[in-house]
Amino acid sequence: MSVFGMVSAVAGFVKVRYLVDKAIIDNIIFRSHYRITSAILFLCCIIVTANNLIGDPIQCINDGGVPGHVINTYCWITYTFTLPHEQNKPVGTHVAHPGLGNENQEKMYHSYYQWVPFFLFFQGILFYIPHWVWKNWEEGKVRMITDGMRGCLVGAKEERSHRQSRLVQYLIETLHMHNTYAFGYFICEGLNFVNVLFNIFFTDKFLGGTFLQYGSDVISFSNMDQENRTDPMVRIFPRVTKCTFHKFGPSGSIQKHDALCVLALNILNEKIYIFLWFWFILLAVLSGLALVYSAAVVLLPNTREFILRRRFRFGTPDAVETIVRKTQVGDFLLLHLLGQNMNLMVFGEILDEFVRRLNFGSNSNLPSAPSTLEMSPIYPEIEKYGKETET
């Protein structure tokens, strides 16, 4: 399969669908974890395994005592090394390449390049797990109760009004019963934040403790004088390394063969990891802000009032105060998710009716709350939605 064919298979992670086709059950930062970040990591995994981009990932030269394909394979499946004390010396006068020289000193071994594709794939799975947990916890509730009301205004007004009335009645009769639902959402938001921090330190460990300062070192490098600077990308992802091969000679003595190996794959690795450094830092900051926002929603009623007035442009101060005072966190989260899936005018009508029933009760010429069986004609695929697994 060509690299473009494999990339198209990953493109499904970044889908654009009409709002009516898919319910929104999280926020944009949450989706950045399992859609954008997972897709980026899987795409990088494909790129580093596509030999047609760079040719052979390693090519070694030696004194001719070992066939080329043998030394290439050996150095790839074992390790290569560089010499840290030779990194900052002038190339061409003191060293042939950065990090190469006399071996009678400390060595830095490199074998991570064998594991980069597997590591990136594993990270992509890690970023998808919180969404998978939340999707199974949520069980299609938002999609089920907003069926026929998501997106633009469609259908007959009478039918839409009937659906809205039944939705409001559902909200009234399940009032204060959604706190476990909200607990699952906030737990998964916390998992997103913990996961991105874990991946930053996990990557740092994988690269031998060089990832945490990688981005800042690259920025500093770009501001240095051209003649005196040392590229940190070459230090962490060396393009030329050394490899030692031992074999028995004709008389049975052990012979040592030195080889210089060109790691073409590191041209891709250095670009991938500098991008991931900036992306992980940005994602960690945004995820932290999302947690602060969620904490404010839970702890500060004024935040809920602000969301209703500014985000959903709803109602009078008295109506907003009624919703905040008479609902709990789980109820508000469900309302917030409903608002993300509906036209603002439709959602405003639902909130108006919801406030009226909160103030005057639900027994004044109002239909009773629909049972699961009664909701079936309106939501003909309720059982399917409840069990359906979405990406």
Q: Which amino acid is at 233?
A: M
4 Cβ contact partners less than 8 Å away, ≥ 6 residues apart: none
- Tell me the two tokens of residue 118: 């597997």
Quick check: 47 and 57 in contact, CB under 8 A?
no
User: What's the whole-model pTM score?
Assistant: 0.81
- Tell me the two tokens of residue 218: 């690259």
How many domains are there within the chain?
A: 1
pLDDT band at 387 (very low <50, low <70, confident <90, very high): very low
CA distance 207 to 124: 17
| Strand, helix or coil for residue 90 | coil
CA distance 230 to 10: 36
pLDDT tens digits, residue range 16-27?
Answer: 444 345 789 999
Quick check: 342 and 145 in contact, CB under 8 A?
no
pLDDT tens digits, residue range 90-101?
Answer: 776 677 777 787
Scanning the structure block, which residue is given the tokens 């039918």?
159
pLDDT higher than 70, residue 286? yes
Domain region containing 372: 3-387
- Tell me the two tokens of residue 183: 């607990």
pLDDT tens digits, residue range 296-324?
Answer: 999 998 999 999 988 888 878 888 999 99
Of all residues in the chain, the percent with pLDDT exceeding 70 is 81
pLDDT given for residue 100 in this prediction? 82
pLDDT tens digits, residue range 233-269?
Answer: 788 888 888 988 888 878 778 888 888 999 888 888 9
Quick check: 43 and 268 in contact, CB under 8 A?
no
Q: Which helix (H) or strand (E) holds 330?
A: helix 329-341
The partner residues of 80 in beta bridges, in order of sequence, read: 110
Higher pLDDT: 365 or 197? It is: 197
| Strand, helix or coil for residue 241 | strand
Quick check: 303 and 309 in contact, CB under 8 A?
no
pLDDT tens digits, residue range 179-227?
Answer: 999 999 999 999 999 999 999 999 999 988 889 988 888 887 766 655 5
Rounded to the nearest 5°, which phi and psi values hold at 139?
Answer: 60, 30
pLDDT given for residue 390 in this prediction? 46
